[in-house]
Chain A
Amino acid sequence: MRILSNTAVLLGKELQTEFRSRELLTTTIVFILIVIVLFSFTFDPSVSESRRFGPGLLWLAFLFSASLMLQPCFLKEKTNDTLSALRLCVADPFAIFLAKLLANACLLLLVQLLLLPIFAVFYNIKVGAVFPQLAMVFLFGSLGVSVTGTALSAISAQVRMRELMLPLLLLPLLVPILISSTEATAALLEEKPTLRLDWLGILIAFDVVFLTALWLFGEYLLEE
């Protein structure tokens, strides 16, 4: 199926471009660190308090930085009108979205996994034992952020005040992700860690709903 091969080719290109320069990756990681450090000044970072506030802060910092880092996604395709070139070459415009959202999800997941040890050190939380489960929560959370963020990046590239519009549109939409991811992460970092399938279920439901909506209606966003 050409849409799958198109997606693979474009995904390869997106990842290749990012790993060549690594600008998005490094700036995102540093930004999240800045936010986490700043947040730490707002409460007493004792072990018990950290356990309470830590997961929420991590995800909040993550959402803020995602809403900034997803901006160039479609904006950069305006530079030389490469979006038109893609539209001319792909069999189905959804391949463009799929490739970009998968690339963004990979980057977001990578950012989270790289930050996890730093987070564990800052807040004296043991993450080793539950690493696979945490990775799973991060995966579905990143996917949800990526699906909606990529779609909204296509929107914000077309409007005024786009630097403000993307966070404005994206953050309220991500409330279910914030709640579910925070709760699931917190449950995994407790004394007796548990994998909360209920919260994971909401994450997966979010991902499925918005991926389907993007599949059905996404091509209309790219129309002229």
Chain B
Amino acid sequence: MSQRIGRPTGIKFTKIEKRFGSLYALRRLDLEIAPGECLALTGRNGSGKTTLLRVASQLTRPTHGELAFLGLNASETPTVGYVSHAIMLYDELTAQENLLLFARLLGIQEPQERTLKLLEATNLAARATSLVRTFSRGMKQRLAIARALLQEPGLLLLDEPATGLDTESMEWLTGAIRGLRDEGRTVVMSLHGESSLSQLATRAARLDAGSLVADTHAGATFQNVFAVTGA
């Protein structure tokens, strides 16, 4: 998808706890994701997947515990791309204006060039000057991924990226993530169940009520991890 990539960045959660009032979203969670891994995170609604990803993106501060990024040199700051439930884009701006805005904020050199390249890569070049308000769910998702890729992140976090996508968009998404994985980026995606996306994963883990209950790195099989997901 892009020529260069940011250095693959892993992430290590140590005793991460996140409390919202009386609700414990994450309970003293330990998890280490090595650079280059493609992790499929699963679990019921409310199991803590979204919170874990938001903590990883540093949008949410954990109540306790530590976060460390792996695979970086001493002075490097992690480049993280984050795609959430919400598209995190301005409806009243065009696709191009959105990407340009965030590219400029990130301090990217030659933001116009990067913007156009990403629009092409996400098959949105034809709709570059249309307002995001007019986009379909699939198109919005593609643009959201384009935004996440602006910095050429070493770590990509995707929160239920397949939600609401039709078959065509799903195919595109699977191909896109495969490409990102093959470029060596660390990918962490939260999923509801097995799908074409989960098949891309090199590792799977399940959360339940804020704790890690199954992990292919701890001996479970992919089937086990995805077994009881429910709604």
Chain A positions near chain B (C-beta within 8 angstroms): 2, 5-6, 9-10, 13, 17, 20-21, 79-82, 84-91, 223-224
Chain B positions near chain A (C-beta within 8 angstroms): 54, 57, 59-61, 80, 82, 84-93, 101-102, 104-107, 147
Task: Given A84-B84, A89-B105, check contact A224 B89 (CB 8 Å).
Answer: no
Main SS of the interface on chain B? Answer: loop
Task: For A91, list chain B residues within 8 Å (CB).
Answer: 107
Q: Are A21 and B90 in contact (CB under 8 A)?
A: no
Q: Are A90 and B105 in contact (CB under 8 A)?
A: yes
Q: Are B54 and A224 in contact (CB under 8 A)?
A: yes
Which of B60, B82, B88, B101 interacts with A80 by CB under 8 Å? B88
Main SS of the interface on chain A? Answer: helix
Name the CB-closest residue of A to B88: A85
Q: Are B92 and A21 in contact (CB under 8 A)?
A: yes
Task: For B87, list chain A residues within 8 Å (CB).
Answer: 80-81
A-B contact list, 17 entries, CB within 8 Å? A17-B90, A20-B92, A79-B91, A80-B89, A80-B90, A81-B87, A82-B88, A85-B88, A85-B89, A86-B105, A88-B57, A88-B82, A89-B102, A89-B106, A90-B105, A91-B107, A224-B54
Task: For A21, list chain B residues within 8 Å (CB).
Answer: 92
Task: For A82, list chain B residues within 8 Å (CB).
Answer: 88-90
A80 to B101, CA, bound (A): 16
Min C-beta distance of B77 to chain A, whole Å: 11
Q: Are A13 and B57 in contact (CB under 8 A)?
A: no
Name the CB-closest residue of A to B92: A17
